[in-house]
Structure 1
């Protein structure tokens, strides 16, 4: 088995999530195409970097946060698929839920971010997060 360098598209998606986790939203935004389309299951589609920036900057507050554990990531050219657990942090509550994401890149920038998740899984994550915050476990 030989070690292979990651696909450039995989590196860009990993850098995007890394920037979001570190709270350096402007660095994350630099990786987006101006015409970005962000789709989330059952939520309105956001079109354009300015609209996406508004949402991402909204997470950049003292009592809010975001992180993700990427379990699997694979690319076929400029298409990247992720299987991950996303976490939304609201004060002491950490809400974890499974997400399957598809990213399409063009000229080194993300033009499509399409996430699929279960509302039931988000609700379960919220309940677990509240119980853990209350019990300290």
Structure 2
């Protein structure tokens, strides 16, 4: 399976609203950084942080573009979901590093101010 396909499967797990399935695709020692927030290290710490976002509904990560170069997979996405009753659409760039079929690094770059405005509105 290509590294791009692994990331597509990861996105599909999110679109199924299955955080556990998505987290199971991560390595035990994953480095997860939702920039500009604080990074998280480890699968279980990442799972706990992601679940702490609260119940998500209407999850739809729209993949606009994907590129692969060796272990690196870059995505341009719009992550749409309902969080705490608020509909949000977050344009972002994601970078994934894959080793032995697992995501061992995940960084998403997005505009925190835009996200905060959507949550406040």
Q: Given the two structures, how large is their TM-score scaled by the length of structure 2?
A: 0.86
Structure that is richer in helix per residue: 1
Contact 2:6 2:101 in 1 (8 A): yes
1:50 correspondence with 2:44: yes
Q: Give structure 2 stretches of 5+ with no counterpart.
A: none
Contact 1:38 1:113 in 2 (8 A): yes
Alignment match, 1:94: 87
How big is the shift at 1:86? 1.2
Distance in 2, matches of 1:30 and 1:90, equals 22
How big is the shift at 1:58? 3.3
Contact 1:97 1:125 in 2 (8 A): no
Alignment match, 2:16: 22
Runs of 4+ in structure 1 deviating by more than 4 angstroms, as ranges, are none
Please, which of 97, 101, 113 is the counterpart of residue 104 of structure 1? 97
Distance in 2, matches of 1:116 and 1:90, equals 19
Alignment match, 1:9: 3
Aligned residues, how many? 120
Contact 2:86 2:118 in 1 (8 A): no
How big is the shift at 1:93? 2.4
Alignment match, 2:109: 116
Q: Secondary structure at the match of 1:23?
A: coil
Q: Which has the larger radius of gyration?
A: 1
Structure that is richer in strand per residue: 2
Q: Give structure 1 stretches of 5+ with no counterpart.
A: 1-6, 131-137
Q: CA RMSD in A?
A: 1.9
